[in-house]
Structures are given as C-alpha cells and as structure tokens.
C-alpha cells in the first residue's frame, strides 16, 4: 500500500525485491495542436445596406470523428478534423433605424501534423480531437461592397492513441523462511 506521498509502505521485516514487467496498454502515441483563422462574408438580404455592427457570436461548434492520414513519401502522420460552426452577426441598417441578424454556417476541414509519434505502436490506432480555443469573432466589419465580413479563430488539439509496450517496475514482498 502507498502512503499519501506515494511512497510504498512495507513491513521492515519483509524485504522488497523488484523487477520489471512489460505491459501492453493504450496510450497517447503522438500529439499536435494548431490554430486556424477563417474569414467569412455573410449574406445580407437585397435592399438592406448595413450601417453598423452591433454584435457577433460563434455558436454550435460540432467536430466530426477525426481521421489519421499520412503525408505521401515521408510517412508523417496527421489528423484530419472536420466540423461546422455558426456565425451570427447582429447589425443595423436603414441608417440605424432597424436591426437584423445575419447567420452563416461554416464547414471546415483541417489537417493537424502530429509530432513525436511513438515507434512502438502495436496494431490499430485511433485519433481524438478536442477544442483548445473556442471559436471567437475577432473582427467584424462592413466592407466597401456593403457586406459583412467576420474573422474567426479557433484552436484544436489532436492526438493519436494506440496500443504500445511499456516497462513498469514491480515490487513484491519476499518471505524469509
């Protein structure tokens, strides 16, 4: 049994012997992260000329199941992540006399390079991806063509998980007879 500091407790009369064992376990075998920027132009109904931007938000981010890909030639592993998110921009038109919300669904596919991939992977591997920076509208402007342009940034962390071999030290009690 271990004490609160993690040190093994043992009876002083029973000496410990140690050895190593090889264990096959699932582990993270490579990781990568990347930040992506998107510039989107939102559709405005005909006859409405935006006069000011009142607010913007990004909602409903959905990531699909990531896929592992290899770069042709050098064997570099990547994780391909796809998904969607909605951009909502609240704007005023008619010289700030009326307001509306422009909405756009953005589909994306990005490739994240994986570094430090373990050479000891056994069998099948899986990929996982998680959001490390929620999508945010950094800049929303009215263009010279009277359209609304939004700049969005998001961050994704990806990892490859597979079975691998690890060596662990095993402590066992020996009995004096």
- Residues 128-161: pLDDT tens digits? 999 999 999 999 999 988 899 999 999 999 999 9
Distant-in-sequence contacts of 93-97, Cβ < 8 A, 24+ apart:
93/48, 93/49, 93/50, 93/51, 94/48, 94/49, 94/51, 95/51, 96/51, 96/52
Count of beta carbons in the 10 Å neighbourhood of residue 121: 18
pTM of the model: 0.75
Domains of the chain: which residue ranges?
28-172
Average pLDDT over residues 70-93: 87
Predicted local distance difference test score (pLDDT) of residue 72: 55
Q: Are 40 and 149 in contact (CB under 8 A)?
A: yes
Average pLDDT over residues 64-82: 82
Torsion angle (degrees, nearest 10) of CA 153, 60, 103, 109: 50
């Amino acid at each position: 049994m271990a004490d609160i500091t993690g040190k093994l407790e043992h009876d002083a009369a029973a000496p410990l012997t140690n050895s190593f064992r090889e264990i096959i376990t699932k582990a993270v075998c490579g990781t990568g992260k990347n930040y992506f920027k998107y510039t989107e132009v939102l559709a405005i109904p005909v006859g409405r000329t935006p006069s000011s931007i009142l607010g913007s938000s990004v909602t409903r981010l959905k990531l699909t199941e990531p896929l592992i890909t290899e770069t042709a030639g050098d064997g570099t592993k990547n994780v391909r992540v796809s998904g969607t998110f909605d951009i909502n921009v609240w704007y005023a038109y008619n010289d700030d006399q009326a307001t509306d919300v422009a909405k756009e669904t953005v589909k994306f596919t990005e490739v994240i390079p994986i570094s430090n991939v373990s050479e000891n992977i056994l069998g099948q591997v899986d990929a996982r991806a998680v959001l490390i920076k929620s999508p945010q509208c950094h800049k929303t402007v009215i263009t010279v063509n009277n359209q609304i342009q939004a700049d969005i940034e998001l961050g994704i962390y990806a990892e490859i998980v597979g079975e691998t071999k690890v060596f662990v030290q095993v402590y066992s009690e020996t009995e004096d007879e």
